[in-house]
Amino acid sequence: MAVMLASAAALVGCVPAPATAPLTAPPAPMTAARDEPAPRLTLPPPPELVSPVLLGLPPAIAQGGVALGTAPVGTTRLTLDGAPVVLASDGRFLIAADRDATGTLTLTAALTGARTLTATLPVTPRAWRLERLDRVAKVPVPDADFARRRPAELRQIAAARAVGANSDGWRQRFHWPVTGRISGLFGAQRIYRGQPGSYHGGVDVARGEGTPVVAPADGVVTLVADPPFTLEGRLLILDHGAGLTSAFLHLSRIDVRVGQQVRQGEPIGLVGRTGRASGPHLHWAMTWRGVRIDPQPVAGAMPAG
């Protein structure tokens, strides 16, 4: 696959081939006269534009969505809008678009021999569910106990998402961790008297307390919040590798420990209503490198029953 893509990349006809400038400038003679022309610069040739399809990517990426791609053979470094992307040994990689991303994402692959390929990936806008509440003021700041406990909880969540575990779960076709009625959508947002509240950062599945939750893909456990956190309740975070994580909130019980490798489909805990939850449900949140993404298209259609 990667070999084919690499050769295909060289066939992009509408882009002129990069200038074949020498990679190293000839050494300037020590006795050079002052009016002699300066030695040629050693800058790499300009990037070659490729279609995202040639990187194994879809032609566009949805807001809050992920995409898998394959970098050409010889890629030494891959960046998305300037930030490094984890590149597997076979060239596979994963990228995501923020819920509020607009315009295009720019992928740049640096290849051996100072060649550079660049692909721009348009971001497809989505219509997020917005609810305007003109009579309700934004929820007031919670109590002193919350204010005292919250900073440490947020630090633990950030640390768990930044572990960078060695897992190939990101390559798998994700499953739903529980099946049931979707009771809350990713990206939904309330506007209080014109003031936007924070948007819903995961997908909610309504199920009874005690329903088993399974790993949607392979991963490494990076956080077990037990005793429960103020908002998330009993919270479990899995690292699927390549910067992709899953968080499971409001659990009544967690059956795995930090550092444990779990397999897709393996039971990891039970649905509950711990933390700030109006009833028993699973809130499943995903992030890629800190960008919040929508688990729903990652897992696909909800199976019946």
Binding site for Zn ion (CB under 5 A): 184, 204, 283
What is d(CA 154, CA 175) in angstroms, rounded to the nearest whole number? 27
Least distance (Å) from Zn ion to the CB of residue 53?
35
Least distance (Å) from Zn ion to the CB of residue 177?
13
Least distance (Å) from Zn ion to the CB of residue 155?
22
Q: Which is nearer to Zn ion, 204 or 239 (CB)?
A: 204
Q: In the complex, which residue's CB is closest to Zn ion?
A: 283
Least distance (Å) from Zn ion to the CB of residue 280?
12
Q: Which is nearer to Zn ion, 126 or 171 (CB)?
A: 126
Least distance (Å) from Zn ion to the CB of residue 284?
8
Q: Which is nearer to Zn ion, 67 or 238 (CB)?
A: 238
Pair of tokens at residue 103: 């315009």
Q: Which is nearer to Zn ion, 161 or 250 (CB)?
A: 250
Strands 115-124 and 61-62, by their bridges, are parallel
Least distance (Å) from Zn ion to the CB of residue 282?
9
What is d(CA 159, CA 167) in angstroms, rounded to the nearest whole number? 17
Q: Which is nearer to Zn ion, 283 or 289 (CB)?
A: 283
Pair of tokens at residue 94: 């994963």
Least distance (Å) from Zn ion to the CB of residue 202?
5
Q: Which is nearer to Zn ion, 184 or 297 (CB)?
A: 184
Produce one character per residue of 166-192: b if its CB has 16 or more CB atoms within 10 Å, e if not. Answer: ebebbbeebbbbbbbeeeebbbebbeb
Q: Which is nearer to Zn ion, 253 or 273 (CB)?
A: 273
